[in-house]
Structure 1
């Protein structure tokens, strides 16, 4: 049996939406993008949503919007994909990496220790779909002593008057916090629609605004739509409507708009998300937990607690008391059965570029500990029950073979 890791969900409704776009003869930013933005507002409860061409470009735009620049610091977890830190570097600022908790999310205690008078923002990452401890982070950034450290150096920073909280929700579309969409817990939440995500547009992302009342989110939406199109006052769709060709450039913007041909894929998927796609992911995650729970080596991922529920984007299986090398052996053995697995994530300080600019793996011991024993299993709506059973059986067998061999070696030595 051959089981891929994370193929996109493409059904007839997706094909129909894409064909509708092609037949309309309008494939760049237009009505499909606007419809997807409206669906995102409904799904997340946010005030506004702006679709862009990737999570990364969306994060760069929002840091620039806030005035983050050279000399500033942005706190990020060491245990994340490289884009979380690269977006900060692209603004000329410094990513200040901190360690994570055992549930893989950023540690509020470590955040507090990392805050200085240069800190302008926190990028909190919802790993595997599980929201961070946003209550603790919000309490922190609103603490009078922390607020007094904040030095505003732009109009938006003066208006907010504190550290900006951005949720890196690349994994967590549909996640819940206190019974509400988790996007409501951050000032800005940025989702990814990359090909392997719960909802995809092939490539793409979406910025959701939940800024305090001192901001007019409707006006910010208009500004950001222009900023994402080179600072141009009219998009191509508006210019195409009759005698409407004249435009102006009023900001030094970016070119990061999402095209309709991509939005069409996400539009079809989001309309099935809560009723079909998300429940199927949850069903598979629970089946994995049931299959692995009898074994002492199984470290169960946090899927739900009294405040949070995951979006079930990944199933981050962790194996107790193994080394990184043993984890790699297990992966090789699983792959031999036709089951494709992955690892999320290699901590950023282990990567060549980040090492070259001074980050050290040993400064983030829990990030390395979690990475060294983690194996991400396939989890997507198309997986059939017999395929999940096949994965569970082979993962158990291959882990047991390495763990049992290790015990024999220990006894012999």
Structure 2
């Protein structure tokens, strides 16, 4: 028996020092730490610009509003994602058009193609567990003359782009690669989450990365979006605090969704060691899991790397062949009884009350339900020890095989499974 949390934040002395530096500076809202974090994200992703915000959800609402998405418009989203993906569309008054996914958790390009109408303004592709969608296929699709010809522009930004906007919901995929480069480069807009459980955290927060076509001025868009996060105000608090700098104007109806420096400081310390320490550590845990489960006939390995893509190893989405949702839940109960915290990513949105009431039905998304019913997210983070990883593997194997044996022999007496020894 151990006590293994699911996803604790990575807090070391460098993080504490960075936060203390912010506190001692006497400047804790948006200022130099946010600017420094944005530059680190630009360096990591080679994006044209990065704008930090107070959450992924805020960033998504901002970018949909920036693009002029409104009532009567449609945005295509996968049914298999966290609710914020669709909620951001609803907050703009538009309709989330849910489509099914493929077996790799990614939104189905074939389902997208069938869902596109003249009302489609954007596609939000979700990188589940850190695994990038096939952005080559999605970019090719929205550029097809037949698809592009359906697009009806109704705002200045839409006229400038003159096609469907491709947004990457990259809440899980900071550090993922596509074709040897940052996966963030493959979409017009990529939005990261820095929530407490993410690979890099700011406690709460997110970041918008811009990789729009060259007819957009990245510097001008950054300036505009920065104002948008501050109620459309011409000066931020730091500028106003300088001597004689109190005058400001409100240019448009913005939002109040800026990230404060006290939060940015946490992420700034982490991102500086992300590629060299934190990301390799997560990958090491994932590979140890794959090695530990490789001989189990019931094990479905998550997508981690192929000829084009590599995950950010945010989650380890274990899937078990040919089990029911009820069996999966019993397996989770057994694993947690051993002191291991696990999770499920995600409950498909059509199973949630809000979306049921809006008319979405899970029967329309069979692949999403299949993945959900068989999925268990295991702990994966740099602080895990080899002993803890071995205990998790052994406990999972024991819990799964106990359930499978019970299912094969329902009248057999219960048998307790002790975790087997696993060494690395």
TM-score (norm 2): 0.96
User: How far apart are residue 2 of structure 1 and its match?
Assistant: 0.2
Q: Deviations over 1:57-116 (max 9, x none)?
A: 000000000000000000000000000000000000000000001000101010000000
CA distance in 1, matches of 2:4, 2:412: 36
CA contact (8 A) 2:153 2:159 kept: yes
CA distance in 1, matches of 2:208, 2:4: 33
CA distance in 2, matches of 1:236, 1:410: 69
User: How far apart are residue 200 of structure 1 and its match?
Assistant: 0.2
Q: Deviations over 1:264-300 (max 9, x none)?
A: 0000000010000000000000000000010000000
Q: Secondary structure at the match of 1:162?
A: coil
Q: Secondary structure at the match of 2:410?
A: helix
CA distance in 2, matches of 1:238, 1:39: 22
Residue matched to 1:103: 104
User: How far apart are residue 409 of structure 1 and its match?
Assistant: 3.5
User: How far apart are residue 311 of structure 1 and its match?
Assistant: 0.1
Cα distance change of structure 1 residues 178 and 268 upon mapping to structure 2, 3 Å threshold: same
Residue matched to 1:19: 20
Residue matched to 2:344: 343
Matched, 1:152 2:156: no
User: How far apart are residue 375 of structure 1 and its match?
Assistant: 0.2
- 1:364-383 correspondence to structure 2 within 5 Å: 364-383=365-384
CA contact (8 A) 2:31 2:261 kept: yes
Residue matched to 2:59: 58
CA distance in 2, matches of 1:400, 1:44: 42
Q: Deviations over 1:350-401 (max 9, x none)?
A: 0000000100000000000000000000000100110000100100000000
TM-score (norm 1): 0.99
Matched, 1:314 2:322: no
Residue matched to 1:392: 393
Residue matched to 1:265: 266
User: How far apart are residue 410 of structure 1 and its match?
Assistant: 9.8
Residue matched to 1:363: 364
- 1:210-221 correspondence to structure 2 within 5 Å: 210-221=211-222
CA distance in 2, matches of 1:100, 1:250: 41
Q: Secondary structure at the match of 1:49?
A: strand
Residue matched to 1:113: 114
Residue matched to 2:172: 171
CA distance in 2, matches of 1:17, 1:171: 24
Residue matched to 2:43: 42
Aligned length, in residue pairs: 412
Q: Deviations over 1:330-369 (max 9, x none)?
A: 0000000000000000000000000001000000000000
CA distance in 1, matches of 2:153, 2:60: 20
CA distance in 2, matches of 1:411, 1:153: 65
CA contact (8 A) 2:406 2:412 kept: no
Structure 2: state its 5+ residue gaps: 414-424
Q: Secondary structure at the match of 2:409?
A: helix
CA distance in 2, matches of 1:369, 1:112: 22
Residue matched to 2:130: 129
Residue matched to 1:325: 326
Q: Secondary structure at the match of 1:409?
A: coil
Residue matched to 1:81: 82
CA distance in 2, matches of 1:321, 1:408: 16
- 1:167-206 correspondence to structure 2 within 5 Å: 167-206=168-207
User: How far apart are residue 407 of structure 1 and its match?
Assistant: 1.7
Residue matched to 2:299: 298
Residue matched to 2:281: 280
Q: Deviations over 1:226-261 (max 9, x none)?
A: 010000000000111221000000010000000000
CA distance in 2, matches of 1:65, 1:119: 16
User: How far apart are residue 411 of structure 1 and its match?
Assistant: 11
CA distance in 1, matches of 2:211, 2:306: 24
Q: Secondary structure at the match of 2:103?
A: coil
Residue matched to 1:401: 402
Matched, 1:248 2:249: yes
